[in-house]
């Protein structure tokens, strides 16, 4: 089973790993694209105003440009430690046992606007780039990544792929046949609506359950059983969609 997580805008600072070396990342076939994009991001940082416009930054976020300028020289840390926020709080990777870390290393991948996709423990630096950003000279990141990323990720799994990325990141590299999760809230009258605020939390809980299970689910119904055992209320919507229900 391969589980694809979204990245996050919020990231931890620092790290104790060596500066970025693309050879240390999974999916080496993407390295030419990564290198070109990283160089462009560093070059763009030389023009703070242009960087702020391209990255959608506000006047209080100038440090994000400075961090991009140091992309090739700043320390790295495992991707699972770099990304923070609601989903990663719910995933709670710091509490994984040795066996849990081994399963995370085997199953977890994280989508990235800069790197395409990385494994949970690939070493990456702090950076700022969103899936919807447009870097001068590159067009959309969707058009930049889509041809290569989808094939590269799909080739990593000979079984189930669970894609928990947001729509923007799914579009960077769609994986045919992947199972997605939709979080819905059910009201007392039985009506349902898409959850926004707690969406990431519930996907983090689901990702934790799927990462740590000793089972190897082969289809969406087996996936639902794993989620149910973890305390989630779920329904199978189709062969490629799992619904997570909240009250």
58-84: pLDDT as tens digits: 888 989 999 999 999 999 999 999 999
Q: What is the pTM of this model?
A: 0.95
What tokens were used for 199?
Answer: 């969406």
Total domains in the chain come to 1
200-210: pLDDT as tens digits: 999 999 999 99
189 pLDDT band (50/70/90 cuts)? confident
Q: What percent of the chain has pLDDT over 70?
A: 100
36 pLDDT band (50/70/90 cuts)? very high
Q: Which domain holds residue 23?
A: 2-246
Contact 143, 132 (CB under 8 A): no
- Compute the average pLDDT of residues 133-138: 89
């Amino acid at each position: 089973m391969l589980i694809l997580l979204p990245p996050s805008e919020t990231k931890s600072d620092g790290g104790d790993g060596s500066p970025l070396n693309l050879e240390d990342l999974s999916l080496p076939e993407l390295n030419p694209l990564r290198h070109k994009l990283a160089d462009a991001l560093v070059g763009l940082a030389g023009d703070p105003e242009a960087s702020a416009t391209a990255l959608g930054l506000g006047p209080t976020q100038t440090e994000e440009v400075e961090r991009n300028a140091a992309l090739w020289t700043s320390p790295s840390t495992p991707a699972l430690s770099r990304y923070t926020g609601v989903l990663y709080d719910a995933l709670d990777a710091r509490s994984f046992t040795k066996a849990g870390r081994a399963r995370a290393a085997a199953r977890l991948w994280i989508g990235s606007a800069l790197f395409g996709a990385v494994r949970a423990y690939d070493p990456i630096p702090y950076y700022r780039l969103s899936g919807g950003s447009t870097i001068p000279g590159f067009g959309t990141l969707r058009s930049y990544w889509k041809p290569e990323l989808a094939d590269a990720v799909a080739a990593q799994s000979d079984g189930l792929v669970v894609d928990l990325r947001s729509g923007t990141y799914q579009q960077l590299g769609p994986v045919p046949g992947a199972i997605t999760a939709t979080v819905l809230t059910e009201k007392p009258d039985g009506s349902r609506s898409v959850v926004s605020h707690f969406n990431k939390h519930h996907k983090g809980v689901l990702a934790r359950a799927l990462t740590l299970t000793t089972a190897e689910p082969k289809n969406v119904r087996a996936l639902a059983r794993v989620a149910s055992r973890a305390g989630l209320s779920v329904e199978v919507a189709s062969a490629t969609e799992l619904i997570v229900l909240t009250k």
